[in-house]
Chain A
């Protein structure tokens, strides 16, 4: 930092000379500001609106449940211990299926990004696999992996796998080539370049792919629990839906939403740690 004209101090000193025209500050903006209150406030207003509307009767009780009843259902779920009986199998399926799918996706995506042969061979296959509704494959998975946990892991893993592959090889493609050339001119080995330049450079793209992949995993959790699951948040929601029990339905949906927020927060935490080099 020897050149002073780039620093704000340098700019100010140039202005005090009187020789330069004063330039108004045009920077700022385009930077998402953090606001602690806006998010919860929107939730609270929406819930209050529904509660008041239902109590006053201008929303039919067939269309939505009373938010306070949903809360009571949730408390009951917690007190009877049923919450954990539903949550533990679902979280296990989410973790196992999501981890398998994400790791395989990152692995295959990196291979595609690094090797021409892998790209030529696998990209069309991933493109063919991506738009297939994974729910449609569920009966097939039941025959391949049985009606137990195997088919559920496989469904969630496949759902996470395809977006991870696409995000990973896109991110590897976008790594700054000049950095790689620099590594080469410093005489780094191929392995070092991949480890120290390509993977860290691809990490922002991989992590934003992970957000999408894990959100799809949560969606597929409900689908995976359609067949043969007695416990699980998805099974709970499906049962509530078939019983037309709106309170339980919304309690289950709220749990999934919380799971989504938690997953997103976890990825943000990883981003802050892994991408510290960016700031």
Chain B
């Protein structure tokens, strides 16, 4: 018999779920939204190492270009679970009862190179050497209500300065504008920041972790119906927690040394940088390391702060309650 790749995979999945005690009585097929970012490593690890299969889930990844469309895809029922930053769009959809946050993922932690505050070469020459010098300057963001907007506003608030926010729709557009000096400053995840800084056109002047310690950058969320399904969401969280533990142990605590890092990079490279070889991708993947909350714990205080900021800016309806956005019954709450 000539087995196709799909059949082989299905057989392997069946074998794996037969060996381990499946969390679900019957294997269920779900779709998971993902970005080709290092921050989505747990999804890729759980797929490659069979954690999803062992939890009784047949996962099909759906790749997106930006965080916002993932929330819309979940609301439309095209995707079951996803992991992304809290945006105004996500909160509005939660208000309409379409999506719900139930766990945390990427976090800012002092001491780990998290998101960087970058300035353009022109701004650097004009004497901007720290975030306090940014008063009245142009801060790039994708859209109003994006995480970039939130970070800029929080930095400005802490420094007591005013910023002009410039919407540019897409991350590549913001990068282009920063390089050519059309915007003065931006904050971005380390694997993009390190590449930009090493090109010499932009400079790092600070860390987001210094302004927003414990900032819950990304959260796990799903459609309200899926989040109400305790069995399914529980199975998903089990698989993801195992993958997160692997990721933190290998990449942050270096428990299995250099060999472990190398193996992890080989696993992630085809997902995060499909157009590069493992060796080419290695630097960016290692530079992109950030803490992912163990057990998908959620920093409730940070999420509450984000919701309140969106409301105070009039970006989302002020009547949205915390409980409309978050279901805290699944994971451990930290930072409350």
Q: Is the CB of A228 within 8 A of B167?
A: yes
Q: Is the CB of A228 within 8 A of B96?
A: no
Q: Is the CB of A228 within 8 A of B182?
A: yes
* B-contacting 9-mer, from A84-92, A140-148, A165-173, A266-274: A140-148
Is A242 in the interface zone, CB < 8 Å from B?
yes
Residue of A nearest to B165 (CB): A230
Given A146-B182, A243-B145, A244-B93, A228 and B168 contact (CB-CB distance below 8 Å)? yes
Residues of A within 8 A of B93 (CB): 62, 244
Q: Is the CB of A139 within 8 A of B173?
A: yes
Q: Is the CB of B87 within 8 A of A230?
A: no
Residues of B within 8 A of A147 (CB): 166, 177, 182-183
Q: Is the CB of A62 within 8 A of B168?
A: no
A221 shortest CB reach to chain B, Å: 15
Q: How far is the CA of A228 from the CA of B144 in the complex (A)?
A: 11
Point out the residue from B145, B168, B173 that lies within 8 Å of A239, measured CB to CB: B145
Point out the residue from B75, B92, B167 that lies within 8 Å of A245, measured CB to CB: B92
B261 shortest CB reach to chain A, Å: 37
Q: How far is the CA of A61 from the CA of B316 in the complex (A)?
A: 16
Residues of B within 8 A of A146 (CB): 182
Is B176 in the interface zone, CB < 8 Å from A?
yes
Is B315 in the interface zone, CB < 8 Å from A?
yes
Q: Is the CB of B169 within 8 A of A238?
A: yes
Q: Is the CB of A242 within 8 A of B182?
A: no
Q: Is the CB of A228 within 8 A of B87?
A: no
Q: Is the CB of B166 within 8 A of A244?
A: no
**How many A residues touch the partner, as a band?**
10 to 19
Residue of A nearest to B170 (CB): A226
Total A-B residue contacts, Cβ distance less than 8 Å? 71
Residues of A within 8 A of B89 (CB): 242-244
Is A197 in the interface zone, CB < 8 Å from B?
no
Residues of B within 8 A of A143 (CB): 180
Considering only residues 73-108 of chain A, those with a C-beta below 8 Å from chain B are none
Residue of A nearest to B98 (CB): A62
Q: How far is the CA of A235 from the CA of B173 in the complex (A)?
A: 16
Is B219 in the interface zone, CB < 8 Å from A?
no
Q: Is the CB of A239 within 8 A of B75?
A: no
Is B328 in the interface zone, CB < 8 Å from A?
no
Point out the residue from A227, A228, A243 that lies within 8 Å of B92, measured CB to CB: A243
Q: How far is the CA of A147 from the CA of B166 in the complex (A)?
A: 10
B250 shortest CB reach to chain A, Å: 35
Residues of B within 8 A of A244 (CB): 71-72, 75, 88-89, 92-93
Point out the residue from B71, B92, B167 that lies within 8 Å of A238, measured CB to CB: B167
Is A229 in the interface zone, CB < 8 Å from B?
yes
Give the one of B143, B165, B166, B167 with max A CB within 10 A: B167
Q: How far is the CA of A227 from the CA of B96 in the complex (A)?
A: 29
Residue-wise interface mask of B (50-75) relative to A, using a CB-CB cutoff of 8 A (1 in contact, 0 not):
00000000000000000010011001
Q: How far is the CA of A244 from the CA of B70 in the complex (A)?
A: 12
Given A228-B182, A244-B72, A62 and B96 contact (CB-CB distance below 8 Å)? yes
Given A242-B88, A242-B144, A61 and B96 contact (CB-CB distance below 8 Å)? yes
Q: How far is the CA of A258 from the CA of B202 in the complex (A)?
A: 44
Q: How far is the CA of A259 from the CA of B162 in the complex (A)?
A: 34
Considering only residues 151-176 of chain B, those with a C-beta below 8 Å from chain A are 164-169, 173, 176
Point out the residue from A230, A243, A245 that lies within 8 Å of B166, measured CB to CB: A230
Residues of B within 8 A of A228 (CB): 166-168, 177, 182-183
Residue-wise interface mask of A (143-160) relative to B, using a CB-CB cutoff of 8 A (1 in contact, 0 not):
100110000000000000
Residues of B within 8 A of A229 (CB): 167
Point out the residue from A61, A62, A227, A243 that lies within 8 Å of B169, measured CB to CB: A227
Given A142-B182, A143-B180, A226-B169, A242 and B98 contact (CB-CB distance below 8 Å)? no
Residue-wise interface mask of A (210-244) relative to B, using a CB-CB cutoff of 8 A (1 in contact, 0 not):
00000000000000001111100001001100111
Q: Is the CB of A242 within 8 A of B143?
A: yes
Is B241 in the interface zone, CB < 8 Å from A?
no
Residue-wise interface mask of B (176-191) relative to A, using a CB-CB cutoff of 8 A (1 in contact, 0 not):
1100101100000000
Is B299 in the interface zone, CB < 8 Å from A?
no
B9 shortest CB reach to chain A, Å: 34
Q: Is the CB of B177 within 8 A of A142?
A: yes
Q: Is the CB of A227 within 8 A of B168?
A: yes
Residue of A nearest to B90 (CB): A244
Residue-wise interface mask of B (126-157) relative to A, using a CB-CB cutoff of 8 A (1 in contact, 0 not):
00000000000000001111100000000000
Residues of B within 8 A of A245 (CB): 88, 92, 316
A70 shortest CB reach to chain B, Å: 15
Residue of A nearest to B143 (CB): A242
Q: Is the CB of A243 within 8 A of B316?
A: yes
Q: Is the CB of A242 within 8 A of B145?
A: yes
Q: List 10 A-B contacts (CB under 8 A).
A: A62-B98, A226-B168, A228-B166, A228-B167, A230-B167, A238-B169, A239-B167, A242-B143, A243-B144, A244-B88
**Further pairs besides A62-B96, A228-B182, A243-B88: 15, Cβ < 8 Å:** A61-B96, A62-B93, A139-B173, A139-B176, A147-B182, A147-B183, A228-B168, A228-B177, A230-B166, A242-B68, A243-B87, A243-B143, A243-B315, A244-B93, A245-B92
Which residues of B are interface residues toward A (Cβ below 8 A)? 68, 71-72, 75-76, 87-89, 92-93, 96, 98, 142-146, 164-169, 173, 176-177, 180, 182-183, 315-316
Which residues of A are interface residues toward B (Cβ below 8 A)? 61-62, 139, 142-143, 146-147, 226-230, 235, 238-239, 242-245
